[in-house]
Amino acid sequence: MSDLAIIPCPECGVKNRIRTYDPEKIPVCAKCKAKLVGEKEHAAFSKFNENLNQFKDFPDFGSRSSKK
C-alpha cells in the first residue's frame, strides 16, 4: 500500500502520517507509542491486503468498461 494515510492516535490525539502499512506490524504513535489500530482492525486490514495481492495480477478483460 503506497498511499499516505493519516491516523489520529486514540490516546494523545496526535495525527500520524503512515506511508506504508506493513501487515506484519501494527502502527504505533510517534509521540506516545500507543497502537493506532486495534487487533481486530489490523487483522481485517491484513486479510484485505492479502486478498488484494492475490488478485492484483489478473488481466483486465474489459468487462468493466463503460464504453458500449
Q: If pLDDT is split at 50, 70 and 90, which confidence band does 1 have?
A: very low
Architecture per CATH, domain 5-53, reads as: Single Sheet (2.20)
pLDDT digits (tens, 9 = 90+) for 6-55: 999 999 999 999 887 777 888 999 999 999 988 898 888 888 878 877 77
Pair 6, 15: CB distance under 8 Å: yes
Rounded to two decimals, the pTM is 0.59
Q: How long is the chain?
A: 68
Q: Which three cell numbers stand for residue 45?
A: 486490514
Q: What is the DSSP letter of 58?
A: P
Domain borders along the chain are 5-53
Instruction: Give the phi and the psi of residue 35 in degrees, each rounded to 5.
Output: -70, 135
Residue 41: what residue type?
A: E
